[in-house]
Amino acid sequence: MVVVTRAGRTAPRRQLLALLATACLALAGCAAGDGPAAQDPPSDGATSPSAPATEGTPTPGDEAGGDTDVEPGTADPDGPLTFTATTLDGVTVDASTFAGEPVVLWFWAPWCSICRAEAPDVVDVVADLDGQVTFLGVPGLGEEDAMRSFVDDTSTGTFEHLVDADGALWQRFGVVNQPAYAFVSADGTVEVHAGALGADALRERAAQLTTG
């Protein structure tokens, strides 16, 4: 490489070496500016992981879904119905008293339009299978006054509704959206259906619990 000065004369070798050294230093400085300091990971406060208390908490939504299998006793070694809850009437219910018999839990929210639309079907099936299958409503994601209004408006007071204000029961059965159903057979096997079911499908699924 030959460097030509403005006067058109070739620069001395010493000057050429000095220019090359200066260029090398400049390149090294640029590399240092893009080094570890620019690639440091974000601080621990950059993200806010969910607190343990909110993990699995139901989230609002009317999305349809499908079936998911829940192993019997997943939430409790003694079985899926080993819990207590308070009804909308303020009565404490020990669900273990229903163990050994078919039970259907209907998970709903007071502001859920799909829940409201399917309520008449639920009422009809409850009446059809009276004495054969126990139905329990499990309202969540709302105020108790709104839940009571929903029950009054939809005439679903023909069966008990267990208030799940903190989402513990929804989480217990793996429910994250409403409506949903948990079909509990006499042997403790649980099948959860996420989404609405029409009267015929609900009646068929519930009746199957009585046949083994």
Tell me the pLDDT tens digit for each residue of 177-206.
Answer: 999 999 999 999 999 999 999 999 999 999
As a whole number of angstroms, the distance between CA 206 and CA 195 comes to: 15
Query: In this predicted structure, what is the pLDDT of residue 79?
Result: 87
As a whole number of angstroms, the distance between CA 200 and CA 189 comes to: 22
Lowest mean pLDDT segment, chosen from 7-16, 18-27, 44-53, 74-83: 44-53
pLDDT greater at residue 137 or residue 78: 137
Q: Would you tell me how many other CB atoms lie within 10 Å of the CB of residue 212?
A: 7
As a whole number of angstroms, the distance between CA 199 and CA 16 comes to: 91
Query: In this predicted structure, what is the pLDDT of residue 31?
Result: 39
Average pLDDT over the chain reads 75
Query: In this predicted structure, what is the pLDDT of residue 65?
Result: 56
Query: In the chain, pLDDT over 70 holds for what percent of residues?
Result: 63
| Helix, strand, or coil (residue 53) | helix
CA angle (89, 104, 187) in 5-degree steps: 125
Query: In this predicted structure, what is the pLDDT of residue 54?
Result: 32
Confidence check: pLDDT of 6 > 90 = no
Query: In this predicted structure, what is the pLDDT of residue 56?
Result: 38
Tell me the average pLDDT across 156-182: 96
Largest Cα separation within the chain, whole Å, is 110
Confidence check: pLDDT of 158 > 50 = yes
Exposure pattern of 51-70 as b/e (b: 16+ CB <10 Å)?
A: eeeeebbbeeebeebeeeeb
DSSP tag of 176: -
Query: In this predicted structure, what is the pLDDT of residue 20?
Result: 45
Confidence check: pLDDT of 164 > 60 = yes
* Domains of the chain by start residue, with CATH: 1-39 (no CATH), 66-211 (3.40.30.10)
> CA–CA distance from 54 to each of 45, 50, 62, 211 (Å)?
19, 7, 20, 38
